[in-house]
Each structure stands twice: as C-alpha cells, then as structure tokens.
Amino acid sequence: MRFSLGKWLLPLYTALALILLLIPIAYTFIFSFNDYFKTNIGWQGFTFHNWTNVCDAQGLCSAFGNSLIIGVTSTLAATALGTALALALARYKFRGRGIVSLLIFIPMATPEVVLGAGLAAQFFTLNVEKGMGTVILAHTLFCLSFVVVTVKARVSSLDPALEEAGRDLYASPAQVFWRITFPLLIPGILSAALLSFALSFDDFIITYFNSGSMQTFPTFIYISASRGVPAEANVIASTVFILTLAVVVTSQVITRARAKALKN
C-alpha cells in the first residue's frame, strides 16, 4: 500500500501543481481572442482582431516599448558592471573584499518596496525628475546583485590550468582573457543577462516608485486591471510567453544534441 500510494501521489501532486501554474497563462491566452467591449472580464466572442491590431489599446504599445528599452539598457549596464565586479571578487584579494561580497547580497534580500521607496526618496532629495532615466538606474542597481552572483559562480568553476596554459604559451594577459577566460564565461554572462532582463521587464514595485508619469507594461496592466485588462495586453503577454518557451525549448534541444555528440 505504501509503495502504491507513493507511486500515484507524486505524479498527482505534480499534475495539480502544473495545472495551478498554467491556469493564469491559459486564461491570458484564451482571453487574448475575446471580442470584448469596454471590459475584458467576461467572454463575449471569438476574434483575431486583437492579434492584428495590438496597438488599438491606448498607451499599450508605448508602455511595452518603454519596458523593452528599460530592460535592454539596464541589462547591458548591469551585466557589464556585474561581470567586472564578479571577476574582481572571485580572482583578486583587496581590502574590504568580504564587506563588498556581503553588501552584494543586501539588495537581493531587501524587499522591493523598501528598495523602491529608498531610491524614490533619494531622487526626491536630489531634485531629480522621475522618468525613464531614474527607472533604468533603479533597475540597474536592482539587477546588479543577481548578475554578480551568477557570473561569480561561473568564474569559480573555471579551471585555472587553462589560463596557465595560455600564459605558458606566451599569451599576454589581454589575450588570455579574450581567448580563454571570456569564452568560458559566456554561458554564465548570458544566463545573468537573461535573468536581469526578466527581472527588469517584469518589475512593478521599483518601477512604480520611480517612473513618475511614464508607464511601463507592468504599470499599464496594474492601472487597467480595475476595469479588466485589455485583450491586446493579453496578446503581448501571450507572445512574450510563447517566445520565452521557444527559447527554453531550443536551448534544451541544443544542449542535449551537444551532450549526445560528445558521448558519440
């Protein structure tokens, strides 16, 4: 009986967990085809109009464009700064190294409402006008810790013998870095960049405190939620989910293909 219960309980629990996770996504995808009028709360009919006229919802495309600009810019800045900081913490000894490593984890452990409110208070004190620039700066600071942790883990896993071999072959420090170290760090850097972009694109709390009158995709959804999220917003959300799923599936297929080739 114990073996039979365990055999069926785990698959059942897994199936229920997946169903609960996928229900909101399925709802969003289905209601992207809703032929709604004023509110997108109840099902009113099937149509492709929302997919062919995404920008009919006022302010939606501009908010989505703002999210893309902020996400890409803050990701590039956080990835560049975080990679350099991760290399410094993992490879070099300097005064205050332990304190810096500790401080890196503070933004990750701090609630976003505290971080967002603190940055908003600083911008107010310095009389800085809130807008896209303040949001990019806030997202860069928020994502920096995640980039450092991710890249630092990759740096720690590198085999020092590979770099030593390059130096033994009379390669300069710059050649060793760009031809050996950097290519080996690329998987970690890409993972950190994707994580940073996802955090920036999805963020609402920090953005809400520091965006001023500018809207991003999450703030647009929040404001629209009281009267029903427009079906056009569901179209963009569904498209982002499909693209993300395609990237993950492609990555898994490539990884398995490479592993199979190495075995053969």
pLDDT digits (tens, 9 = 90+) for 176-217: 888 888 888 898 899 899 999 999 998 999 999 998 889 999
Pick from 232, 223, 177: which is nearest to 204 by CA?
Answer: 223
Domain identity same for 238 and 198: no
- Whether residue 252 is contained in a domain is answered as yes
Integer Cα distance of 86 and 196 in angstroms: 15
Question: Do 185 and 203 belong to one domain?
Answer: yes
Q: Looking at the domain assignment, is residue 46 inside a domain? A: no
pLDDT in tens, 64-109: 999 999 999 999 999 999 999 999 888 888 888 888 888 888 888 8
| Integer Cα distance of 229 and 42 in angstroms | 11
* Other CB atoms within 10 Å distance of the CB of residue 13: 10
Residue span of the structural domain in which 250 resides: 231-264
Backbone angles phi, psi at 228, to 5 degrees: 100, 120
Pair (218, 117) in one structural domain: yes
- The closest of 48, 54, 216 to 131, measured between CA atoms, is 216
Confidence at residue 6, expressed as pLDDT on a 0 to 100 scale: 64
Alpha-carbon span 220 to 232, nearest angstrom: 12
* 57 or 242, which is more confident: 242
Query: How much is the pTM?
Result: 0.84
- Tell me which DSSP letter residue 225 carries: G
Which candidate, 24, 123, 133, places its Cα nearest to that of 74? 133
Number of domains observed in the structure of the chain: 2
Examine the domain organization and report whether 240 and 123 are in the same domain.
Answer: no
Residue 159 lies in a domain: yes
Do the domain assignments include residue 120?
A: yes
Does 179 map to a domain?
A: yes
* Structural domain includes residue 211: yes
Strands (E), 27-91: none
Is the same domain home to 225 and 237? Answer: no
Same domain, 100 and 162: yes
110, amino acid identity: T
Domain shared by 167 and 256, yes or no? no
Q: What is the mean pLDDT of residues 8-12?
A: 82
CATH number at residue 201: 1.10.3720.10
User: Could you tell me if 135 and 174 lie in one domain?
Assistant: yes
Asked whether residue 205 falls in the same domain as residue 262, the answer is no
Output the pLDDT for position 156: 85
Residues 180 and 246 in one domain: no
